[in-house]
Amino acid sequence: MSGNVQLLNDTLAAARSEGRSALIAYLPAGFPSVDGGIEAVKAALDGGADVVEVGLPHSDPVLDGPVIQTADDIALKGGVRIADVMRTVREAHAATGKPILVMTYWNPIDRYGVERFTAELADAGGAGCILPDLPVQESAPWREHADKHGLATVFVVAPSSKDARLAEITAAGSGFVYAASLMGVTGTRESVGAQAEDLVRRTRATTDLPVCVGLGVSNAAQAAEVAGFADGVIVGSAFVKRMLDAPDEAAGLEGVRALAADLAKGVRGKA
């Protein structure tokens, strides 16, 4: 079975044709439970997210700040497995018809097996993977299997990336480019800043792929700001915080849905 890279491409193109950025939400699998995590992903999509990244919880999430680390710890203590990540992708995609990616560090895939992982993700209806710590120069085996199974390979670029390095990264990627808005880990910020706009401009000079900005966006005003220069706005910690801060799971799901609706207005310039 082929994955849904084309659905991802079409979704991002549709947002562009509407004159807006796409809203991309991040939520970890297995948090607050496997079933609860599936419902959270569906809530984000129902609320207005165009795409969801499902995080594969990892014990050493080098890109993630304390909010996502806390959620990952809860998921890992709950015994989450890669099979649960695949189930999350499968059920969320089946319920909404929207593109679902997995965001994961390389070590779990390497241990699980690249062919097995890509085949199972495609079979689950996944659209691809975001791989923040896989060096492009070591990515050929992954990309070969991802291409074979119809999956996007999304790489991360940072403000520190030189122009030649940006060109190398974007030439190897597919789906979109994940532009980290600042140096540091995930988390909400008071301001997303001019660094992100400059990085988008430099990245676009190397590729026709959509450039989506993450790290720091937490409200509609910030989403509207980033939507002014990026093809997609990626929000993670703010969604996870809604779940963490809620008195119960039902309230957390409603919080996720409401935040997605608010951010969806932001990316449409209606904040």
Partner residues linked to 102 by β-bridges: 54, 129
Task: Give CA–CA dist 201/196, Å, rounded.
Answer: 9
Task: Enter the tokens of residue 64.
Answer: 């993630």
Burial 24-60 (b: 16+ CB within 10 A, else e): bbbbbbbbbbbebbbbbbbbbbbbbbbbbbbbbbbee
Eight-state DSSP code of residue 136: G
The single-letter code of the amino acid at 158 is A
Tokens of 55: 């995080």
Residue 39 designated active-site: no
219's tokens:
């409200």
Q: How far apart are CA 199 and CA 132, in angstroms?
A: 16
Active site (annotated) includes residue 53: yes
Active-site choice (53, 91, 197, 262):
53
Torsion, Cα of 212, 216, 219, 225 (10° steps) = -50
d(CA 146, CA 2): 10
Q: Which among 185, 177, 178, 122 has a CA at the least distance from the CA of 149?
A: 122
Catalytic residue among 39, 64, 197, 262: 64
User: Which sequence positions are flagged as catalytic?
Assistant: 53, 64
